[in-house]
Amino acid sequence: MRHWTPNELAAQFSASSPLHILDVREEWEYDIAHFEPSTLIPLGQLAGKMAHLDKTHEWLVVCHHGIRSAHACYYLERNGFQVINLTGGIDRWAREIDHDMSLY
């Protein structure tokens, strides 16, 4: 599994290649703050909804602090996906890069 810091992610947002973002937080968390566009599949539902994800894409996986997304990354990798975990999660992103994003 690869890891990106918020600064590395910001550089990717500046690049022309599209990002496929999987958010594994709960819906109430997603409603507070999220990346656009992103796919929401809470971690507890990932096994049942994994078939909805395209294995030909590399997925950036995010959560609040990077713990749930790391678990999701391990699971997805074992099932043939290429994944990147956002170190520190959306909380670190909001604190270091996007100061307009809501914190919780």
What the chain holds in terms of domains, given with CATH numbers, is 2-96 (3.40.250.10)
Whether residue 61 contacts residue 72, with contact meaning beta carbons closer than 8 Å, is answered with yes
Sign of CA dihedral 95, 98, 99, 100: negative
Sheet holding 82-86, edge to edge: 2-4, 82-86, 58-62, 20-23, 39-40
Q: 43-96 pLDDT, tens per residue?
A: 999 999 999 999 999 999 999 999 999 999 999 999 999 999 999 999 999 999
Q: Is the pLDDT of residue 17 over 80?
A: no
Q: Which of 5-19, 32-46, 71-85 has the lowest mean pLDDT?
A: 5-19
